[in-house]
Structure 1
Amino acid sequence: MSAPVAAESYVVGVEALSFAPHYSVDKQGHYQGFARELLDLFAADSGVELVYRPLPVNQLLPALLEGRVDFKYPDSDLWAQEQKAGTGISYSKPVVDYVDGVLVAPSRVGQPVSSLKRLSIVEGWTPWAYEQQVENQQVKLSYSPDLRKMIQQALKKDTDGAYFNIVVATHYLDNIRARPGALVFDPKLPHTRGSFHLSTIKHPELIQRFDRFLLEHSAEVSALKNKYQVEANLDSEFMGMEQWKVDFLKRQKAKAAAGD
């Protein structure tokens, strides 16, 4: 009998970061969340093996450029453009959409951008929507080492708001900090929309397979997005709102419509 053929094996460089529900790394170093489940589904469908290597965010791109990992997730052609110039990175189709914006105390919702003087932000993040205000010194950034400390700063009112991924910050407040609604996204303030992609230098052919997987298994991908709520209400007036409140407001709207 011939020996079984070993599956193609690839190393995916991922962020060693608590970024639930998108992804996180537990105390044992296991990568988990929406991204893990999606990439595992792709691996099973394609007959390949994916090995996840969590790295500090600032080490992830160098690991890709130096060939120490085969793929990077998440990535975007808009990020670190100078470092990537001439490297020939291939990007997948969008995997998941996101919104980065400012969460404020409910009493501050609707105030003009000029009222924002100090903004909490996690080290390594760039508040693209506020570059001009920062450059003109209208907004001062207050850096924190992680999401927990950034949220703490904003809750203590040491700053006027916190700039982060809206879904992740809301998930943290609702499920981990257990302070739902203590800070809420203000959609009238400047915010940025974008997408996460899978990237590679060495294996563009596998990116093409991944793109086909996203297309052919769109129903399963959508089910995973719903399971983890990674795009929860990104295209509605409920963006950044706790789920119980969304459900309540939808019921109220349905009652009002039925009354008409």
Structure 2
Amino acid sequence: MVMIDGDGKNTQKILDIKIQHVGTILGFSVPGISAELANKEFDKIETKKVEQLIHMLATGRIQAMYFNESVAEEISETLYPHKRLIPHPKYPVFDYGYKLSSIKHPELITQFDKFLVSHAEQVADIRNRYGLK
């Protein structure tokens, strides 16, 4: 989970704010804060775009957002260059990942696996360029 600090000098003050609303992307799971949501410690606000979340965070409509930190930082630097995102130590940012699966079409998985092997150099370049694992 990340919060926003206007000038980078108020980190502790920002972290002490009571979180009432956390923004997430519509349809994304939130495993790192699911217990808190179930216990109604804060409300979840969903949007379709991360830019909307960042704007809501910058304007105070939400106190934190649950999203991939590096992606959010890059977009935030463009939208709000004088503000910075700070991770919340109590709610670590979840390391998102995507998995490919298919019960009905296992041949697609096999084809994709072969593609990854046959294009290993290109895949490695993409991983390095975007900091992917």
Q: TM-score range by the shorter chain?
A: 0.7 to 0.9
How far, CA to CA, are the matches of 2:123 and 2:35 in structure 1?
Answer: 37
The one-letter code sitting in structure 2 at the alignment partner of 1:196 is Y
Aligned counterpart, 2:22: 119
Give the number of aligned pairs.
127
Give the secondary structure class of the aligned counterpart of 1:198. Answer: coil
Aligned counterpart, 2:72: 169
Aligned counterpart, 2:99: 197
TM-score for the superposition, normalised by structure 2: 0.73
Displacement, 1:140?
A: 1.8
Give the secondary structure class of the aligned counterpart of 2:33. Answer: helix
TM-score for the superposition, normalised by structure 1: 0.41
Is the CA contact (8 Å cut-off) linking 1:105 and 1:182 kept in structure 2? yes
CA-atom RMSD in angstroms: 2.8
Which structure ranks higher in relative contact order (CA pairs < 8 Å, sequence separation ≥ 6)?
Answer: 2
Q: Which runs of 5+ in 2 are unaligned?
A: none
Displacement, 1:230?
A: 4.8
Aligned counterpart, 1:240: none
Aligned counterpart, 1:184: 85
Is the CA contact (8 Å cut-off) linking 1:173 and 1:181 kept in structure 2? no
Tell me which structure has the larger Cα radius of gyration.
1
Q: Deviations over 1:121-163 (max 9, x none)?
A: 2332332211111111112222334322211110012221111
Q: Which runs of 5+ in 1 are unaligned?
A: 1-101, 235-260
Is the CA contact (8 Å cut-off) linking 2:67 and 2:93 kept in structure 1? no
How far, CA to CA, are the matches of 1:207 and 1:167 in structure 2?
Answer: 28
Question: Higher helix fraction: Structure 1 or Structure 2?
Answer: 2
Runs (4 or more) in structure 1 with deviation over 4 Å come to none
